[in-house]
Amino acid sequence: MLSKEKLEKYADVLLWGLKTARTEKYGRGDIVLVRYDHPAVALAEILQGRLLDMGLNPVMRGTVTPLMEHNFYGKSNARQLAFIAPGEKELCENLHGAISLLAPESLTHLRDIDSRRIGKTAVAHKFLRDILQERENLGAFGWTLCMMPTDELARQAALTARQYTNQIVRACYLDAPDPVRQWRSIHSNAVAIKKWLNNLAVKQIRVESKHIDLRITPGRKRKWVGISGHNIPSFEIFLSPDWRGTEGVYYANQPSFRSGNYIKGVQLVFKRGSVVHIEAEEGRDFVAKQISMDPGAKRVGEFSLTDKRFSRINRFMANTLFDENFGGTEGNCHLAVGASYSDTFDGDPQKLTKAKKEELGFNDSALHWDLVNTEPKRVTALLQTGERKVIYEKGIFTF
């Protein structure tokens, strides 16, 4: 669906993202994993060539088909669900970068699978994510990802294939003569906003919309991060709050697909940091199973805001990568239940041990599920001085 010219530009942006997302520069001989869904093979081929030209060692891995994935979750016994292939740990311990090319051929093929079976696999694989997180903290690993248009995505988003493709082109600035220049400009603007936010000394954040009244505690040793090259596209600026200070009601008016399930109109009620009540227009039982995956799944791992001045996304895309970066007329906020992000720690990441995370209220979980709200909203910061300051309104940061 994307022309050869657009694919080349996409590769340019992804390599910018990969290099921007890592603290240290890449050196000759570094290992980069390229994981791709089959409809994204043309982009994977371009990236393989580019990485070889850079003197890097690409490891190319196609993902399983929808039928293979259904077979795995439907037929596996408990041991098979938790199986880790030999070499996976060693690969993660030696990776310097990763690029994921998402191009799902089905969003609903797992709808008849008990989500607890999927959760068992996620929990078993969590230690691999922890290895990569530790390497990222050391500056030795960087990652990025993107999405390619497919007929299934367009159908689920109620768009034509051309409309869907055009949204990706616009969102990633692939229609610009030099998309990387555009991303560098957005990155520069985001740096200024993050600096402003991080200088505010915020004690508490209150989010208010028609269906939201939520209080979030940023916590000690926190910083706002985002637009760092990790996701293409990414326009969100976020932090991982102290989960213990979450109180009130959150509502996701943006639908989402997860593990083959369609979820709509999710309302979560938090008390003393944990979800105590769930409502949903569709998919309530699935939501309940997800947040019972492990002890941290019912707690907040991320709070994010997207400035509509950066994002050109104005349609539901049936994919979290795009939907959590929705711009439209009012921007968006999203709340993630589950795992927190270590890069929001304002200090030496090597000192963010498991014990330190617990002390500071960084959440730990095999789950990380972004739930998006696009309603008109006001976000007010209660500062340590007692002053209240509106930091986000009408879809933009007030900086």
**All domains in the chain, ordered by first residue:** 4-179 (3.40.1830.10), 180-397 (no CATH)
C-alpha–C-alpha distance, residues 362 and 241, integer Å: 7
User: What is the Cα gyration radius of the chain?
Assistant: 20
Task: Give yes or no for residue 292 having a pLDDT over 90.
Answer: yes
pLDDT in tens, 183-218: 999 999 999 999 999 999 999 999 999 999 999 999
pLDDT band for position 247 (cuts 50, 70, 90): very high
Task: Give yes or no for residue 220 having a pLDDT over 90.
Answer: yes
pLDDT score, position 277: 98
The first and second tokens of residue 159, run together, are 């768009």
Strands (E), 137-295: 142-147, 202-209, 213-216, 236-239, 247-252, 256-258, 261-263, 266-271, 274-279
Q: Cα dihedral angle (17, 23, 27, 29), rounded to 10 degrees?
A: -80
pLDDT score, position 399: 87
> Cis before residue 233, ω within 30 degrees of 0?
yes
pLDDT score, position 373: 98
Task: Give yes or no for residue 350 having a pLDDT over 90.
Answer: no
Residue showing tokens 């990633």: 172
Contacts 24+ apart (CB under 8 A), 147-151: 147/101, 147/102, 147/103, 147/319, 147/321, 147/322, 148/1, 148/2, 148/37, 148/39, 148/40, 148/43, 148/101, 148/102, 148/103, 149/1, 149/2, 149/103, 150/39, 150/103, 150/104, 150/105
This prediction has a pTM of 0.91
pLDDT in tens, 143-170: 999 999 999 999 999 999 999 999 999 9
Task: Give yes or no for residue 1 having a pLDDT over 90.
Answer: no
Task: Give yes or no for residue 5 having a pLDDT over 90.
Answer: yes
From the list 321, 322, 304, the residue with the least C-alpha distance to 312 is 322
